[in-house]
């Protein structure tokens, strides 16, 4: 029986499985670290395996033991392969956690990524980790397919003649295809029939293409071409940089290129000959339709033919990729250049958060980098015992300091994605394979994506001033955190904490935050505020900084507090205003929170519009929700309301010299869930929302306290706005729409430019045709 088609599908499944496991273990690692670190970003890296296997042991930073428990709870058999992993690397390496789910062996303990693991053990890893259950679909079939494939692969390994039976052969092929369906994202499911058919029809070609840079065989299927021989193999291009005459053709003398019948889109004018790729004088610039179909190989060939056209084409592709999602922050074209792997063109896309589906421009080799997330090489080297034993001597420090002072301005200017320059007494080699850290004085260059050289830059030299260079991946960022509604905030010296309610735009101060006055005022200040109706925060020598409780991050400065008991016209208010620190950009202000929607499903809510209840009535069932620092998301029901004001009047009992807090016409909110309060200590200042429609949040008011009945007291938002003297809360959606409009304007300008280029080409072609029709044919 001819098994080449099944071998090709196995190659395809293996490649897809490695990518599937690698991506989702990164996500799994990110979830674990985020869960155990909270907002502290603390790391340990010192706890040993022996310590962690002792259940009574507690990590000094409360990190490693929690990661251990997460791993154990996520293992289907609660018996992780502890001997495979190195706990000090858990915080920085997703693969150290992945190895806990691989079969226990010395070989698996030495692996550094999914690329080092065979298909059987990868599937075993998927079966062992409960995290993958949510990714395999909800049907019983999707749960059983990985187990079925694992069993067949085990039998295939032990029974050499297993596939000689036609029944077993067909079952194996069917199971491979079903598993491929399970691990393929829903957005790419429609491509699977073509991929599988291609693999069956051209098994040898498909096995060759599966190792290239394009996304499996999708690019080649899109060309619509036929392949005359299943034995033909596309040649890999040879890249050679030139310092001058960039338009000159580059000859590749180290590879023999076979003649084939394969033609790629928009490359008809490229002449492929034995040993040399040359470009004819006039290369037609591809249209938008062509550009959508261009494969990675087209760029590789173009790179060797015309550097200017190559750069221009890459620039268009970068713009198209970046415009496909607001989550993509930056894209640049690069040449992948590592000694252990073939060179190829790639597009490095930096995203603000790890969302694989944002990268949809799959006709090209896209490398996704998450902002401020780098390979662990630099961290491992910095914390290595070898590094500690090989500190730079005073003489070396003096010499290197002088050289780096001279080099830094020049290198930083020439290399856009060079982030840090320093010196070290050790040199890192072979990271990702057989990693070693050797004592050697060197200059260390930290880059955004190691191994990817931007197309408009030259590679770094191997040494500067006869000092060897060590290139590592890493970066620098300021300690600016995101400020989110509902965050716990405090002011030093008060001894209390409250919640950040929301934002408004002050005509002279700019963006300001709102919270409860009693959470950020000292007793004497609160007394003055209640007596005078307001408290200006202007006393010389007093500290008025407002900080987040989790990371002590300074987010603003208290400027004013207000108090009014209320009357027959207006509800009572007590609130504080702080101006948001100017160092915080609009991207660092978040008005989103996680919760449960009205259908009882997990959902992400966003209060972008800044809408307040106004004179309209509540949603018919009076349901509402809030997000506060103490009890996070809760749902409730407004139980006292008349003419858009509350019915409740409250007076806080006091046993000291302070005047009791009195507020009239307040809302009263009862919790929907039994044995769970709507709000608690620490939630003062949080905003409460109702649904104007099923998805549109509208602000109802601000939490000020609770009652003995288990209800929560909320000041109506209209009275808050009236006291502040502003008509509405901050509309972040309008700001986002303005930014999106600018983004769309830029995209339209690019499209118009492309259209003009295409129109110009059409006009030139028509002009030549008209000239040809006038002169008529000539005899040769």
pLDDT of residue 557: 93
- Which run of H or of E encompasses 447? strand 436-447
- Which of these, 586, 577, 601, lies nearest to 514 by C-alpha position? 577
Residues 154, 36 share a domain? yes
Report residue 97 as tokens: 């956690």
> Same domain for 753 and 698?
no
- For the CA atoms of 710, 716, 720, 726, what is the dihedral angle to 10 degrees? 150
Mean of the per-residue pLDDT values for the chain?
78
CATH number at residue 624: 2.40.10
Q: How many CB atoms lie within 10 A of CB 751?
A: 12
> Residue 396 and residue 42: Cα distance in Å, rounded?
33
| Banded model confidence at residue 185, pLDDT cuts 50, 70, 90 | confident
* pLDDT score of 253 more than 90: no
- Strand, helix or coil for residue 449: coil
Which secondary-structure segment (H or E) carries 335?
strand 328-336
What's the confidence (pLDDT) of residue 39?
A: 59
Average pLDDT over residues 88-112: 91
d(CA 146, CA 155): 14
**Counts for the chain of helices (H) and strands (E), in that order:** 21, 29
Residue 404 in tokens: 């780096």
Residue 497 in contact with residue 487, Cβ under 8 Å? no
Q: What is the pLDDT of residue 222?
A: 43
The lowest-confidence range among 5-19, 290-304, 362-376 is 290-304
Structure tokens at 166: 């036609």
Token pair recorded at residue 696? 């549109």
* Alpha-carbon span 36 to 62, nearest angstrom: 8
Which of 290-299, 435-444, 599-608 is most confident? 435-444
Phi then psi for residue 340, to 5 deg, are: -90, -5
514 within a domain of the structure (yes/no)? yes
Check residue 757 and give its pLDDT.
78
The predicted-structure confidence for 621-636, as pLDDT tens digits, reads as follows 788 899 998 899 999 9
Confirm if 10 and 176 have CB atoms less than 8 A apart: yes
Section 216-232 average pLDDT: 39
Angle among Cα 497, 499, 505 to the nearest 5 degrees reads: 125
At 269, the pLDDT band (50, 70, 90 cuts) reads very low
Triad 109, 435, 419: Cα angle to 5°: 125
218 domain residue, yes or no: no
Least confident of 20-34, 52-66, 233-247, 554-568: 233-247
Structural domain includes residue 660: yes
Contact 667, 646 (CB under 8 A): yes
Regarding whether 521 and 382 lie in a shared domain, the answer is: no
Question: Residue 645's pLDDT is what?
Answer: 74
pLDDT at 425: 95
How confident is the model at residue 158, as a pLDDT? 85
Work out the average pLDDT over 681-709: 87
Whole-number pLDDT of residue 283: 31
Over range 200-221, report the average pLDDT: 48
Question: Are 24 and 133 found together in one domain?
Answer: yes
Domain that holds residue 436: 377-444+459-473
Q: Examine the pLDDT at 2 and tell me if it is beyond 70.
A: no
Which residue, 713, 742, 772, sits at the end of a domain? Answer: 713
Give the count of domains, the chain. 6
Residues 311 and 385 placed together within one structural domain of the fold: no
CB 697 within 8 A of CB 607: yes
Identify which of 617, 528, 565, 558 has the alpha carbon closest to the alpha carbon of residue 723: 565
Q: Are 95 and 25 in contact (CB under 8 A)?
A: yes
Is residue 196 in a domain? yes
Contact present, 624 and 700 (Cβ < 8 Å): yes
The three-point CA angle 300-213-221 to 5° equals 90
pLDDT per residue as tens digits for the range 445-501: 999 999 999 998 889 999 999 999 999 998 876 554 678 899 899 998 888 889 999
Domain-terminating residue out of 553, 586, 619: 586
Supply the pLDDT for residue 238.
Answer: 32
Residue 776 located in a structural domain: no
Q: What is the pLDDT of residues 308-326, one digit of tens each?
A: 778 888 888 888 888 877 7
Cα angle, residue 214 at apex, residues 274 and 317 outer, rounded to 5°:
100
Inside any domain, residue 770 = no
Distance, C-alpha 766 to centroid of its chain: 48
Q: What is the DSSP string of 336-374?
A: E--TTS--EEEEEEEESS--GGG---TTS-EEEEETT--
Q: In what order do the strands lie in the sheet with 463-464?
A: 418-429, 436-447, 467-473, 463-464
Which residues have CB under 8 Å from 68's CB, separation 6+?
52, 87
Q: How far apart are CA 506 and CA 544, in angstroms?
A: 19
**Is residue 255 very low, low, confident or very high in pLDDT (cuts 50, 70, 90)?**
very low
Domain contains 630: yes
What is the share, in percent, of the chain residues with pLDDT greater than 70? 77
Identify which of 311-325, 360-374, 417-431, 656-670 has the greatest average pLDDT.
417-431
pLDDT in tens, 588-598: 888 888 888 87
- Nearest CA among 430, 470, 446, 366 for reference residue 112: 430
Residues ≥6 apart with Cβ < 8 Å to 411:
418, 421, 445, 460
Residues 527 and 582 in one domain: yes
Dist. CA 457–CA 331, nearest whole Å: 15
Would you say how long the chain is, in residues?
780
Residue 727 Cα distances to 559, 570, 612, angstroms: 19, 16, 10
Determine the pLDDT at residue 355: 53
Range scoring the smallest mean pLDDT among 166-180, 197-211, 751-765? 197-211
Strand order across the beta sheet in which 366-370 lies: 366-370, 344-351, 328-336, 452-454
Claim to verify: residue 493 and residue 395 sit in the same structural domain? no
* Average pLDDT rounded to a whole number, residues 160-176: 85
Same domain flag for 251 and 346: yes
Q: Is the pLDDT score of 618 beyond 80?
A: no
Statement: residue 742 has pLDDT above 80: no
CB 670 within 8 A of CB 662: no
Give the pLDDT confidence score for residue 214 in this predicted structure: 38
* 8 A C-beta contact, residue 521 and residue 490: no
In a domain, 198, yes or no: yes
Query: Same domain for 30 and 130?
Result: yes
> What 3-state DSSP class applies to 301?
helix
> How far is Cα 387 from Cα 472, in angstroms, rounded to an integer?
15
Sort strands 344-351 and 366-370 into parallel, antiparallel or unpaired.
parallel
Residues 383 and 365 in one domain: no
Q: What is the mean pLDDT of residues 84-102?
A: 92
Confidence band, pLDDT 50/70/90 cuts, at residue 340: low
CA distance linking residue 357 with residue 325, whole number of Å: 10
- Does 313 share its domain with 359? yes
Q: Are residues 342 and 309 in the same domain?
A: yes
pLDDT of 100 strictly over 90 = yes
- Backbone φ/ψ region at 778: left (φ over 0), alpha (ψ -120 to 50), beta: beta
- Highest mean pLDDT (candidates 6-15, 269-278, 690-699): 6-15
Q: What is the Cα–Cα distance from 310 to 292, expressed in whole angstroms?
A: 16
Predicted local distance difference test score (pLDDT) of residue 157: 85
What is the average pLDDT across 187-210? 65
Of residues 92 and 276, more confidence is placed in: 92
């Amino acid at each position: 029986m001819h098994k080449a088609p099944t071998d090709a599908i196995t190659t395809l499944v293996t490649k897809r499985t490695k990518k599937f496991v690698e991506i989702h273990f990164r996500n799994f690692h990110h979830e674990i670290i985020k869960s155990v670190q909270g907002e502290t970003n603390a790391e340990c890296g010192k706890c040993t395996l022996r310590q962690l296997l002792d259940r009574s042991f507690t990590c000094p930073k409360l990190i490693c033991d929690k990661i251990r428990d997460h791993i154990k709870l996520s293992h289907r058999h609660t018996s992780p392969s502890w001997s495979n992993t190195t706990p000090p690397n858990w915080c920085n390496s997703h693969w150290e956690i992945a190895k806990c789910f691989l079969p226990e062996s010395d070989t698996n303990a030495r692996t550094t990524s999914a690329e080092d693991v065979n298909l059987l053990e990868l599937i075993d890893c998927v079966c062992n980790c409960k995290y993958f259950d949510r990714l395999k679909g909800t049907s019983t079939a999707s749960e059983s397919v990985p187990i079925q494939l694992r069993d067949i692969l085990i039998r295939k390994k032990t029974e050499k003649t297993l596939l000689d039976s036609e029944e077993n052969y067909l079952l194996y092929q069917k199971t491979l295809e079903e598993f491929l369906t399970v691990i393929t994202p829903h957005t790419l499911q429609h491509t699977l029939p073509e991929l599988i058919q291609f693999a069956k029809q051209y098994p040898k070609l498909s096995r060759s293409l599966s190792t290239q840079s394009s996304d499996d065989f999708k690019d080649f299927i899109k060309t619509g071409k036929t392949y005359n021989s299943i034995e033909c193999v596309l040649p890999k291009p040879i890249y050679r940089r030139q310092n001058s005459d960039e338009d000159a053709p580059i000859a590749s003398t180290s590879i023999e290129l076979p003649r084939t019948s394969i033609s790629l889109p928009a490359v008809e004018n490229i002449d492929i000959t034995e040993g040399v790729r040359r470009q004819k004088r006039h290369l037609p610039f591809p249209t938008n339709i062509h550009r959508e179909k261009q494969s990675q190989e087209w760029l590789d060939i173009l790179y060797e033919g015309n550097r200017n056209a190559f750069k221009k084409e890459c620039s268009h592709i970068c713009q198209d990729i970046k415009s496909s999602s607001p989550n993509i922050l930056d894209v640049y074209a690069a040449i992948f250049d590592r000694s252990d792997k073939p060179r190829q063109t790639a597009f490095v896309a930096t995203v603000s958060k790890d969302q694989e589906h944002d990268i949809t421009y799959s006709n090209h080799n896209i490398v996704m980098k998450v902002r401020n997330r780098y390979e662990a090489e630099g961290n491992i080297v910095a914390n290595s015992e070898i590094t500690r034993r090989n500190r730079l001597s005073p003489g070396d420090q003096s010499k290197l300091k002088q050289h780096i002072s001279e080099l830094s301005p020049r290198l930083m200017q020439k290399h856009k994605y060079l982030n840090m320059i320093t010196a070290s007494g050790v040199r890192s080699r072979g990271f990702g394979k057989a990693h070693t850290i050797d004592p050697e004085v060197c200059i260390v260059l930290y880059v955004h994506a190691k191994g990817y050289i931007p197309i408009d830059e030259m590679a770094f030299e191997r040494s500067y001033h006869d000092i060897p260079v060590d290139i590592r991946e890493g970066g620098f960022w300021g300690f600016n955190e995101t400020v989110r509604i509902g965050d716990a905030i405090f002011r030093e010296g008060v001894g209390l904490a409250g919640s950040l309610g929301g934002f408004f735009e002050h005509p002279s101060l700019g963006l300001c935050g709102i919270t409860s006055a009693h959470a950020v005022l000292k007793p004497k200040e609160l007394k003055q505020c209640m007596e005078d109706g307001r408290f200006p925060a202007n006393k010389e020598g007093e500290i008025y900084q407002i900080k987040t409780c989790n990371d002590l991050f300074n987010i603003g400065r208290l400027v004013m507090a207000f108090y009014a008991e209320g009357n027959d016209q207006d509800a009572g208010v007590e609130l504080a205003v702080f101006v948001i620190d100017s160092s915080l950009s609009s991207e660092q202000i978040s008005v989103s929170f996680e919760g449960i929607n009205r259908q009882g499903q997990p959902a992400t809510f966003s209060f972008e519009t800044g809408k307040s209840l106004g004179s309209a009535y509540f949603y018919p069932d009076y349901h509402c929700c809030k997000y506060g620092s103490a009890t996070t998301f809760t749902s409730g029901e407004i139980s006292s309301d008349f003419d858009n004001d509350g019915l409740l009047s409250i007076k806080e009992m006091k046993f000291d010299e302070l005047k009791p807090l009195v507020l009239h016409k307040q809302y009263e909110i009862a919790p929907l869930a039994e044995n769970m309060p709507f709000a608690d200590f620490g939630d003062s200042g949080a905003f409460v929302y109702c649904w104007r429609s099923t998805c549109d949040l509208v602000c109802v008011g601000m939490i000020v306290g609770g009652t003995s009945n288990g209800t929560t007291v909320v000041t109506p938002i209209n009275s808050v706005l009236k006291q502040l003297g502003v008509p509405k809360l901050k509309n972040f959606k309008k700001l986002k729409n303005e930014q999106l409009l600018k983004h769309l304007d830029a995209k339209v300008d690019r499209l118009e430019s492309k259209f003009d280029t295409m129109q110009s080409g059409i006009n030139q072609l028509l002009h030549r045709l008209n000239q040809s029709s006038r002169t008529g044919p000539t005899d040769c």
